[in-house]
Chain A
Amino acid sequence: MDDLIKMTAKDLDFYYGDFHALIDISLDFYENQVTALIGPSGCGKSTLLRCLNRMNDLIPNIRVEGNIILDGHDIYDPNVDVVALRRRVGMVFQKPNPFPKTVFENVAYGLRVNGINDKAFISERVEKTLRQAALWEEVKDRLHDSALGLSGGQQQRLCIARAMAVEPEILLMDEPCSALDPIATQKIEELIHQLKKTYTIIIVTHNMQQAARVSDITGFFYLGKLIETDKAETIFTRPKFTQTSDYITGRFG
């Protein structure tokens, strides 16, 4: 693998109080590739994802050791501006969580909080990102209706559009399809294929088939440890460890 490394976790340990949630994780994330994090519930994959944009900072009594390097800079360096970091590392959540605002204002939100007020620029960007998220045709006549009136799948694509509007470099997705039906899931997966041309994508999923379909690299986590990581086709056809093969064949999880 001689692709460009966008982000790296190096010897990362993470604690919730006394609980050692991530144990010595080292993992590279490559530019314009999809990395899937899989593993049973509570294995630490979501915790790792939330370390990558420091969303865990909001939780009291946590401790992080080790480094996460983004383009050569440690994001846990005390001088890092967390707000600026989160603009570069966008996030899509498990449940669709559009704001109780209009479709348009949801997508425009990230631009507005980052100080962009140019109306023409904002509407242009909103249309562009909604098109990228394959949602434009469905919502172009209801841009100024509440986003809460959209279907679950549409809401999740809106959340992806909202995250893309600020043009982050990395897109973190925390089980983005777990609340969606199979058709909506398929649309999101197609979207992920499109988006990796522009973004580096890191996705947590419980769905083995999904990880196999969308990811280039897959990492298997178990009890806070990264058991193995490899190209997705290797992980799903010739895993090195029995724990991995047991999990992906559904023997536990």
Chain B
Amino acid sequence: MNESNTSYMGLNSGLFPKSEKVQGEKTAVSQAKPGLLSRRKIFQRFMFFLFRLSAAINGIALLIIIYFLVVRGWRAINWTFLTQPPMDSMTKGGIFPCIVGTLCLSLGAILVALPIGVASAIYLNEYAKPGRILRIIRLGINNLAGVPSIVFGLFGLAFFVVWLQFGVSILSGALTLGAMTLPVIIGASEEALRGVPDTYREASLGLGATRWQTIYKVVLPTALPGILTGAILGISRAAGETAPIMFTAAVFFTPAMPSSIFDEIMALPYHIYVLATAGTEIEATRHLQYGTALVLIVLVLGLNLIAIIYRAHLRRKMH
């Protein structure tokens, strides 16, 4: 070892003697320890298997959840269940008001969060000059993403319901869910905007477009599929949340359909929570709970599917 070091350092050692040395060492290694290579290969195979397994667990978990819900819940699902309000102290009847409520809340949350989120991402990625203010804003967004959903619920209760006097309503719930969805949408939108090549911006500015025209006509359309991904994630999260809506929008039971955004509503996740923990006949309504959960999952996956198809359509149109 010492000897080879000196020869590397030596001025006249050159490339040839060095590579000869290395080759010699290699042969020596494979002759001395014939099992080493295969042991390394086995280790590699083992590690790759672990990675593959970890990836597979994600898919398997989803499949198990869906399988579980379908097996336990499909019997509850029929026309009455999907189109009627709950009856007989919620032990019979359907969940139609909950479906409507969840759709209203999800749509409302996206209407609140998408414009604000995309606008914030445009500011952060296209206009903002690096510095203290930008760092503080980023810190805020990151921390917003870490706030527990029940805290959003309490914030919504204190701010929208009580202070702004929106009451327990679709509006309060959508605003609360929207605030919770913001970081997801900002993150996805920023990533999508960063993915737009700078040469597009330069080409547009070089043609005498203003910065706003460049953003509106080139950057945003190019980033749209990525931004939609953010919206998909946001809507999925909003549709399934219970804590943020339990004080701000959802009620135990209301047979009436909402007629304005100031009405209180029923919602699927809260309905499951109520049936499973606070109902009069928890065991008797088990199949209704699973049925409701199945509807919720199908609704979320359906929303995702629509957005994914639309995104694919946009990408095809572009390329």
Q: Which of these, B130, B207, B209, B222, contacts A100 with CB under 8 Å?
A: B222
Contact B208 A83 (CB under 8 A): yes
Contact B208 A99 (CB under 8 A): no
User: What's the nearest-Cβ distance from chain A to residue B133, in Å?
Assistant: 15
Residues of A within 8 A of B93 (CB): none
Residues of A within 8 A of B206 (CB): 53, 55, 86, 90-91, 93, 163
Contact B205 A97 (CB under 8 A): no
Interface residues of B in 44-92 (CB under 8 A from A): none
Measured CA separation A86–B201 after assembly (Å): 13
| B contacts with A: majority SS | helix
Measured CA separation A97–B196 after assembly (Å): 12
Residue pairs across A and B with CB atoms within 8 Å: the count is 76
Contact A109 B207 (CB under 8 A): yes
A60 within 8 A of B: yes
User: What's the nearest-Cβ distance from chain B to residue A202, in Å?
Assistant: 13
Chain B residue nearest to A85 in the complex (CB): B208
Contact A86 B207 (CB under 8 A): yes
Residues of B within 8 A of A162 (CB): 203, 207
User: What's the nearest-Cβ distance from chain B to residue A34, in Å?
Assistant: 19
> 3 nearest interchain CB pairs?
A87-B208, A110-B207, A97-B199
B202 within 8 A of A: yes
Contact A97 B197 (CB under 8 A): yes
Q: Which of these, B130, B207, B217, contacts A163 with CB under 8 Å?
A: B207
A-B contact pairs, 7 of them (CB 8 A): A91-B206, A97-B200, A100-B319, A113-B204, A113-B210, A114-B208, A148-B319
Task: Name B's A-contacting residues (CB within 8 A).
Answer: 129-130, 197, 199-210, 213, 217-218, 221-222, 317-319
Measured CA separation A86–B221 after assembly (Å): 23
Contact B208 A58 (CB under 8 A): no
Q: In the complex, which range does the number of interface residues on chain A fall in?
A: 20 to 34
Chain A residue nearest to B199 in the complex (CB): A97
A203 within 8 A of B: no
Residues of B within 8 A of A83 (CB): 205, 208-210
A84 within 8 A of B: yes
Measured CA separation A72–B171 after assembly (Å): 60
Contact A95 B208 (CB under 8 A): no
User: What's the nearest-Cβ distance from chain B to residue A5, in Å?
Assistant: 23
Q: Which of B206, B218, B222, B319 has the most CB of A within 10 A?
A: B206
Measured CA separation A53–B204 after assembly (Å): 13
Contact A113 B209 (CB under 8 A): yes
A7 within 8 A of B: no
Interface residues of A in 134-165 (CB under 8 A from B): 146, 148-149, 159, 162-163
